[in-house]
Structure 1
Amino acid sequence: MSLFRLDGKVAVVTGGGSGIGQAIATCFAAQGAFVHIIELTEAAGENTLTTIIDDGHEAVVHACNVADQAAVVRVMQTIVAQHQKIDILVNCAGIAHVGKLENTGVEDLDRIYNVNVKGTYNCMYGVIEQMKTQGGGVILNVASIASSVGIPDRFAYSMSKGAVLTMTLSVAKDYLAHNIRCNCVSPARVHTPFVDGFIAKNYPGKEQEMFEKLSKTQPIGRMAKPVEVAYQALYLCSDEAGFVTGCDYPIDGGFIRLNN
C-alpha cells in the first residue's frame, strides 16, 4: 500500500523557494501533487521549480508579496481557474528578527507582522471560500517553538509565531463543518541558508564554532534538516491524517519538553 500520496492534489506552498518551504514543495511534488510555489519574485522560486521539473514532476512559480491581500487573491484565483480547486495550502513564508522589546522598533514589528501574521492570514483568506465550495481542504501553517516557549532576543518573531499558532486553532474550529482541516508545525532550529547567513554575518571567522554551539541548543544535539519538517508536513496534509485538526506539532529535537 502506498501511503501519503498526493496524486491529483493541488498544493500551494508559500516561501517555497528555499529552506523548509523548498523541502515541502519538492516533497509534495514527488508524492504526486501539482505544486504552486509562491515567492516574492519568480527568480526566488526558480531553483525549486527546476528541481521539481527535472525530477519529472509538476510545479509553477507565482511572484507575489503575501502581505498584499489583493495580490494573494489574484494568485489564488489564477490557480483555481487552472485546476478548479486548491486542496492544500502550506503557509511557510516568513522572516526573522533578533532583538528584545527595547531594541525592536515599530518598523521592525510592522515588517515581521506584515509577512508572518498578515501574510498567513491573507493566504488563508484567499483559499477559504474555495475550500468551502469544493467541500474541504487542508491548511498547514509553519509556526515555531517560539509560539510556545520563551526564546531570548526574539520578541517580534515570537509575537508573530504565537499569532500563527492561535490563528491555526481558530480556523480549525470555525471550519470543522466544512471538512477543512487546519494544523501547524513548530520547528526548533533548522539548518537552512538563513542560519548559515546569520552565522556568517554575525560571527565571521567563527562559523564552525557557532554552528556547533547552536546545534547543541537542541537536546538531540543537532539542527533539524528541512526535509524532516517536510515529512511531517506531508503526513498532516495527506488523507492519512484525516482525523487530525487543530493541532500543533513541535519538530524540535526535544527542545520544549527536554531542555531543562
Structure 2
Amino acid sequence: MTTATTDNAFRLDGLHALVTGGASGIGEATSKELVRAGAFVWIADINLSAAEALATSLGNARAVKMDVTSTESIEAVAAILPQLDILVNNAGIGHVGSVATTSIEDFDKLLNVNVRSVFLVTRGLLSLLLASPSKGCIVNIGSVAGLIGIKQRFAYCTTKGAVLAMTRQLAVEYAKELRVNAICPGTVETPFVEGYLDKYHAHEKEKIREELKARQPMGRLGQPEEVASMVRYLSSREAGFINGSLFTLDGGWTAA
C-alpha cells in the first residue's frame, strides 16, 4: 500500500460515501467534511428537505430520503447507488431514564433506531461496500455511553454498547474485505443535545449545559466538526491498518 504525501493527505477523491442522519448535527458536519475531502456524498436522512438544502449547498452531494428502520426504504436507496466506498452509520436517538423508569415502548424504540438500523443499513448496503475497489469502509458513530455507565441512560447505554459490539464483530468477519471502526463521542454541541435540554431540562437549560461541560475534563462540549474530522481520517488511505477500533472524542471523560 502506498501512503499519501502531505500535499494530498486524507483525500477521498473518487469515492462515494453515504451518511445516515446526514442532514443535521454530526451527520451534517460529516457530510461537509467528506465533500471537502473530495468524496461524493449521499446525504441520507428522513428529513428530505433538510438533506436537499445541504446537498445543494455542498455541490458534490445528493440527498436521499431514508428511514433507517425500514428495509424497503434502505433497498430503494441501495438501488440507485452507482457505487459505495464509505458508510457512516450516524442516525440515532437518545433517551433519559433508569431501568425502572424506562418504558418497554421507549426501550424498543431505541433498539429499533440505534441498533436494528445499523444492522439493516449495513446489511442492505453490504454488497456495494464489498464491491468497492478501494476496500469498503464503515464508520459507526457510537458514544462514550457504550463504554461506561451513565446514570439515567439505561436504554441509551445499552444500544450504544451494542453498536460497538457490532463494530468489532464486522471487523473480524470481513477483515480482508472491509475496515469497520467506531467513534465514541462525549457530549457534542448539536441539535441532538439541544433537543435533550429542551425536553428534559427546559426550566434549567443553562445549569444543565454547564454540568454537561463540567463532566468532560476539558470543560467544554465537543464540536461536530471534530467528530467529522475523525470520520474523514478513518475513511482515508492513511488509516488503512485501522480495523475494529473504538476512538473516544470526549475531552478526557473516559480517562478521568
Tell me if both proteins adopt one fold, taking TM over 0.5 as the criterion.
Answer: yes
Cα deviation per residue 1:60-105 (whole Å; 9 max; x = unaligned)?
A: 111111011232122112113xxxx200000000001111111111
Q: Is the 8 A contact 1:18 1:48 kept in 2?
A: no
Aligned residue type for 1:46? E
Corresponding residue SS for 2:198: helix
Aligned alpha-carbon RMSD (Å): 1.4
Partner of 2:75: 73
Corresponding residue SS for 1:176: coil
| Separation (CA, whole Å) in 1 of partners of 2:118 and 2:167 | 10
Corresponding residue SS for 1:222: coil
Partner of 1:199: 197
Pairing 1:123–2:121 present: yes
Q: Is the 8 A contact 1:14 1:91 kept in 2?
A: yes
| Separation (CA, whole Å) in 2 of partners of 1:133 and 1:23 | 27
Aligned residue type for 2:91? A
| Separation (CA, whole Å) in 2 of partners of 1:109 and 1:204 | 23
| Separation (CA, whole Å) in 2 of partners of 1:252 and 1:43 | 31
Corresponding residue SS for 2:80: helix
Question: Which structure 2 residues correspond to residues 1-260 of structure 1 after superposition, within 5 A?
Answer: 1-53=7-59, 58-80=60-82, 85-135=83-133, 136-178=135-177, 180-258=178-256
Show structure 2 runs of 5+ residues with no match.
Answer: 1-6
Cα deviation per residue 1:16-68 (whole Å; 9 max; x = unaligned)?
A: 11100110001001111100011113123234223313xxxx11111111011
TM-score w.r.t. length of structure 1: 0.92
| Separation (CA, whole Å) in 2 of partners of 1:201 and 1:115 | 19
| Separation (CA, whole Å) in 2 of partners of 1:171 and 1:203 | 38
Corresponding residue SS for 1:36: strand
Aligned residue type for 1:151? I
Aligned residue type for 1:127? L
| Separation (CA, whole Å) in 1 of partners of 2:166 and 2:137 | 14
* Cα shift at 1:177: 2.2
More deviation, 196-205/163-172: 196-205
Show structure 1 runs of 5+ residues with no match.
Answer: none
Identity among equivalent positions (%) equals 39
| Separation (CA, whole Å) in 1 of partners of 2:40 and 2:131 | 20
